[in-house]
Amino acid sequence: MVKDKHVISTLGKAEVVIEDGKITSIGEPRINYCPIYNDIDNVDEITKDYIEMNINRRIKEFGMCTSKRIIKMEDIMTFGISETLETNLEIGTIDCVVGACEGVGTVLMTDPDTVQGVGGRVSGLVSTTPLPEVAEKLGRENVLNPETAELNQLKGVKKAIKKGYKNIAVTIIPSPMVKEIRELEIPDDVNIYIFVAHTTGASKEEVVELFENADVITGCASSEILDYADKVKPYYSGKKVPLFAATEKGREFLDNRLKSIGKPLTVKDYPLDRSNKPDPLV
């Protein structure tokens, strides 16, 4: 029997291990302060105690990393990657999101509330093991491999194409697979849009590759992304933790979300305001 074990890279980019619904390990956070969690919980410092409290709250509230996982949720923030995907699914500019969820691994989603529920409150998923109940909720036919909970966004994109989707968004963390997805040979009537999250700690080389291949990139606590953005000046939205549009289509996706919540559209205001950013930037 496969052990129930889920590893996530989360608050302050600390690695947290959850086994059988319980936290068994919390790594050292690399970030001491995040304006988002300061807004949510009025937290001035990300400590192991805060991480433990926050993760236990997620396990209790929506069954994160357990068979009780709730997969449909309302927005927790007004603007982020999952919120942007949610809006663009609603209006039809994309028809499928290739995401990742604890207990199932790579999964195809077409319901906006599911995209928000799956992606809105879980950070970087490092590894996971099968939770059959979660696969049933998401539809086993939508899961890349319900028997192993495999995490492979390239295979997920191929599955989405095979199922007939035409405008496919994929969420992914920085890795060489971003370029592999962009270079994938696809039918003429298929479009692939790449959304990169959890970029804290990305190297200078990785950041250049992300901007060359992705459509939307989160700033997170990445000094390299902010430095590169100051250099190439892409459109973006958000002062504390910006989302950058690396392509014109990426800008359209961001603006669609901003319009839907009545916020000002993407801007090109440079140099970036660094007065209230995660600390330290790495």
Residue appearing with tokens 């059959």: 132
Q: Report d(CA 70, CA 61) in Å as an integer.
A: 9
Determine the Cα–Cα distance for residues 205 and 67; give it in Å rounded to an integer: 39
pLDDT at 17: 97
Contacts 24+ apart (CB under 8 A), 51-59: 51/10, 51/11, 51/12, 51/14, 51/16, 51/26, 52/23, 52/26, 54/11, 55/10, 55/11, 55/16, 55/18, 55/23, 55/26, 56/23, 58/121, 58/122, 59/18, 59/21, 59/23
Residue 281 and residue 226 in contact, taking contact as beta carbons nearer than 8 Å? yes
Tell me how far apart the alpha carbons of residues 81 and 89 are, in angstroms, rounded to a whole number.
12
pTM of the model as a whole: 0.96
Residue 99: partners with Cβ closer than 8 Å, 6 or more residues away: 106, 107, 109, 115, 118, 119, 170, 171
**Percent of the chain's residues with pLDDT above 70:** 99
Query: Residue 37 is inside which H or E element, if any?
Result: helix 35-41
Q: Which residue has the higher pLDDT, 278 or 245?
A: 245
pLDDT digits 0-9 by tens, 91-144: 999 999 999 999 999 999 999 999 999 988 787 899 999 999 999 999 999 999
- Encoded amino acid at 280, one letter: P
Task: Write out pLDDT tens, residues 36-95.
Answer: 888 888 889 999 999 999 999 999 999 999 999 999 988 767 889 999 999 999 999 999
Residue 132 exposed, middle or buried by CB count within 10 Å (0-12, 13-18, 19+): middle
DSSP state of 76: S
pLDDT over threshold 60, residue 209: yes
Question: In the chain, how long is the greatest CA-to-CA distance?
Answer: 54
Residue 188 pLDDT more than 60? Answer: yes
